[in-house]
């Protein structure tokens, strides 16, 4: 499998502040990365698809101005939660899609636990 890192692994912030989460593809260049959020004991919900060099594609119901995604290089995508509120507390997971071979597989990062107080 491929190695995907996320930083930080855990962050606590105060309501109203912004938090940036990084996702790095360490084994290959990824033109496409995905951002998910997961609530306790629930499945992963896709938030957005991050495309290198272009605007991210957001899923219905996800506020693009609140969850800013920047895919500035082929190995790095960032998710910034702006003006965070307690309801934004969640587990955020990124994944990268391996190019070629029909792009069958996604490789997931270890996740970032965000707690907004």
| Residues found near another protein in the complex (CB under 8 A) | 1, 4, 6, 32, 34, 41-44, 46, 49, 91, 93, 95, 97, 102-111, 113
Planar angle of CA 101, 53, 85, nearest 5 degrees: 105
Closest CA to 68 of 97, 96, 47, 89: 47
Task: Supply the minimum distance, in Å, between the C-beta of residue 25 and another protein.
Answer: 13
Instruction: Give every CB contact of residue 41 below 8 A, 6+ residues apart in sequence.
Output: none
Task: Supply the minimum distance, in Å, between the C-beta of residue 109 and another protein.
Answer: 5
CB of 34 or CB of 88, closer to another protein: 34
CB of 10 or CB of 16, closer to another protein: 10
Task: Supply the minimum distance, in Å, between the C-beta of residue 27 and another protein.
Answer: 13
CB of 61 or CB of 102, closer to another protein: 102
What distances in angstroms separate CA 100 from CA 8, 30, 31, 103, 108, one per listed residue?
29, 10, 11, 5, 17
């Amino acid at each position: 499998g491929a190695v995907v890192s996320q930083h930080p692994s855990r962050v606590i912030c105060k309501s109203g502040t912004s938090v940036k989460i990084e996702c790095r593809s360490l084994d290959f260049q990824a033109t496409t990365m995905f951002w998910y959020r997961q609530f306790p004991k629930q499945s992963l919900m896709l938030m957005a698809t991050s495309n290198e060099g272009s605007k991210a594609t957001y899923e219905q119901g996800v506020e693009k101005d609140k969850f800013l995604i920047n895919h500035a290089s082929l190995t790095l995508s960032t998710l910034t939660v702006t003006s965070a509120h307690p309801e934004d507390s969640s587990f955020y997971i990124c994944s990268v899609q391996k190019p070629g071979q029909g792009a069958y597989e996604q490789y997931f990062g270890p996740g970032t636990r965000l707690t907004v107080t």
